[in-house]
Structure 1
Amino acid sequence: MPRYAPNKMPPSIKRRYFELIRTGMSGSEAATAVGVSLSCGSLWFIDAGSVRFIDKPISSRYLTQDDRIEIADGLAAGEPVKVIAERIGKTFQGVYREIARNRKPDGTYQPWYAHAQAYQRRRRPKMRRLAIDEGLRAAVAKKLAKKWSPAQISRWLRHRYRRQPKWHLCTETICEGVYRGLVVEFDQHDRNSGKSANILRTGRIYRHRRGRGRSRDGALKQLTKLRSIHERPASVQTRRHAGHWEGDLIVGAQQRSAVATLNRPGFDAHLVSCDRCASRSGGERSTRP
């Protein structure tokens, strides 16, 4: 095998070296196979973070080693991030996050170093923050007792504890903590029997599968006999009849009250109280003279 000077090494040689390392080959064997010295291969290995790993099949939504090499080549050529993202089939937001998260301490982006950092982060066992932080768990439980939603708690934590990033939880993390019993303990029998609890405002203690676009019998919901808004008669523009008004239904706290607002071309608003928080009740009440 021909040997190359470290400063004149083709990128394909370095790529092949790390491919052999990922297959489980030792550093000396990989260096000999690609035609570089052991010291050169060792410098590459140290510069990449000194992580020896074997790639396992991962979801296509994650970046691969080849994707990171394309990102590094594009940055070296001065290409915009959006162009690089389009070439590798990823979103430009994801590429921006990849560059900011896995770049080296000196600010440069090195694909093998970035891949090693992502690998270490992916394989490290993680404990849920609600399980290990008693203070955070108590703060979330206190707000849940006041009937706050997970989204409200998430925004409150970011605003109240701005200098404590470890306390910044997303809505999904709080929901997962409730479903797993990390925030408030509940009887396991209630979960198995499908009963509800008063932890969340929805009363759920386990995740419900959503049948998007399907009716109760499992059939797809399809709208039939659709008509375009351009086919409406010209008399509708006058808004002389109640059925031609534009209505909005405003539901109060705990769904105890509702008001239908009817806007007319004269900028008049009609407030109609509804005894029941239902669309049928609001429609019937708004059409009364």
Structure 2
Amino acid sequence: MAGVGGDRASRGRVRLAAERRRYFDLVAEGVGTVEACRIVGVGRRTGHRWRHGRPSRAGANARPAPARPGPGSDRFLSVEERIAIADGLATGRSQRAIAAELGRSPSTVSREIARNTPPAGGYRPHAAHDLARARRPRPKTGKIAACPELRERVQAMLGEKFSPEQIARRLRRDHPDRPELHVTHETIYQALYVQGRGELRRELARALRTGRARRKPRAGQQRRPRFAEPMAMISDRPAEAADRAVPGHWEGDLIIGKDNASAIATLVERTTRYVLLVPLPRGRGAEAVRDALAATAATLPAHLQRSLTWDQGSEMGRHHEFTIATGIPVYFCDPHSPWQRGSNENTNGLLRQYFPKGTDLSAHTPEHLAAVAAQLNRRPRKTLDWDTPAERLANLLTTTT
């Protein structure tokens, strides 16, 4: 059987790679090594070398090969994938092509080759697999625990109430040529909170500005409801509002004045970009905003009272009462997602030309607010093919009539 394989060198790299892939396909289907070698047409010693990283050695003196895991987690490359990488390199294929065949990221293949190719060159899949396995066991000794000087410096800076980020930045700046003293702020946090409590003195955790001796878990926490009454989210808003096909869907927000002491409510109709400015002489509390918006909504034609989209500001705490009074449902944007009411955000930027930040907005009378809104509504808009919001709204009202 040993002679079946013939002269391996004469077969060529391309054919050898194809034989190896065929061999592993058979093994994956449950075919034994001997039978797989016979079908492929290679020697038994070659099959054993492919599968176990060594030729078969019969006899009492043969040492058992170290146990090799199966494919394991998809997170890690398997030995079969490393063999495919070696075959691809031997046949001159690009790393990107190899990655595509394996269904892996090109950076995964590139990193594998860079990490596990010996200095002398020549990527060897089984040696690479053993190197990767040797690096994998956890826990490992942390960098701070492994370097007494680094540990002492970090402890001293924590004692001076430096934050971990300040420590990391300062060490890198003061010792640019000493990588053993370079550490990330997350490594310091890990040493304080996670890694055995021994790398940094336990009491140093209390020097952090949070004052916590234990890290506060955040993953998996549920966000508290913003208001007592259930909110309808923007994902529940009718599709006609999203595509701006039907008028009557509004976006709203507040612009805030000096020292957060005054505010103006702004409303923008999504289809026409028509602007309404709502004075808030009683402040921006939930009740005052509810009453001011309800009074403004009462001046609108019925077909322009379809919905209102707002962010999750506390001024909309009485949103359910506004809906009861006007029949207009209120939809709320997701947290930290101002682009979900982009027309209103853009309009608020334009309004700062009239109401600069840091000024007292309560000084503007309702008449002045109406004049500013009228001027904005007379501006031609690129998004409206250079029509003005006033013209678009007038056309809508005429058509409806």
TM-score (norm 1): 0.59
Pairs aligned (count): 229
Q: What residue is the counterpart of 1:10 in the other structure?
A: 16
- Structure-2 separation of matches of 1:139 and 1:221: 53
Does the 8 Å CA contact 1:184/1:199 hold for their aligned counterparts? no
- What code does the residue aligned with 1:136 have? L
CA distance, structure 1, for counterparts of residue 8 and residue 87 of structure 2: 18
Q: 1:119 to 1:286 in 2, by over 3 A?
A: farther
Q: 2:68: which partner in 1?
A: 54
Whichever residue aligns with residue 202 of structure 1, its letter is: T
The structure-2 alpha-carbon separation of the partners of 1:146 and 1:67, relative to structure 1 and needing over 3 Å to count, comes to farther
- Alpha-carbon RMSD: 4.5
For residues 149 and 12 of structure 1, do their structure 2 counterparts lie closer, same or farther at Cα, with a shift above 3 Å needed? farther
1:103 maps to which of 105, 117, 132: 117
Change in CA separation of 1:163 and 1:225 when aligned onto 2, cut-off 3 Å: closer
The CA distance in 1 between the partners of 2:188 and 2:152, in whole Å, is: 12
Aligned to 1:185: 201
How many angstroms apart in 2 are the aligned matches of 1:76 and 1:220? 61
1:73 aligned to 84, 87, 91, which one?
87
Asked if structure 2 preserves the Cα contact closer than 8 Å seen for 1:104 and 1:113, the reply is no
* 1:132-281 superposed matches below 5 A: 132-179=146-193, 180-186=196-202, 197-211=205-219, 214-216=222-224, 224-226=331-333, 228-230=341-343, 237-242=350-355, 262=357
Q: 1:251-271 CA deviation, whole Å, 9 max, x = no partner?
A: xxxxxxxxxxx4xxxxxxxxx
Q: Is the 8 A contact 1:31 1:41 kept in 2?
A: no
Report how far residue 132 of structure 1 moved.
3.5
Give CA-to-partner distance per residue, 1:72-126, whole Å, 9 cap, x none: 3333344443343344333333332211110122222222221121112224873
User: Are residues 1:127 and 2:133 paired?
Assistant: no
Structure 1 residues 220 and 171: alpha-carbon distance in aligned structure 2, compared to 1, 3 A threshold? farther
The whole-number CA distance in structure 1 between the counterparts of 2:34 and 2:172 is 49
Query: What's the CA shift for 1:53?
Result: 3.4
- Structure 2: give runs of 5+ residues left out of the alignment: 28-32, 38-42, 56-64, 235-330, 334-339, 364-401
- Mapped to 2, the partners of 1:130 and 1:221 lie a distance apart of 49
1: distance between equivalents of 2:360 and 2:86?
Answer: 62
Q: What amino acid is the match of 1:214?
A: Q
Structure with larger Rg: 2
Other structure's SS at 2:206 match: coil
Task: Please name the residue that 1:116 is paired with.
Answer: 130
What runs of 5+ residues in structure 1 fail to find an aligned partner?
21-29, 188-195, 246-261, 263-271, 273-284
Deviations 1:230-269 (A, max 9, x none): 3668685252443xx5xxxxxxxxxxxxxxxx4xxxxxxx
Instruction: Give the distance between the partners of 2:75 and 2:208, measured in 1 at CA.
Output: 31
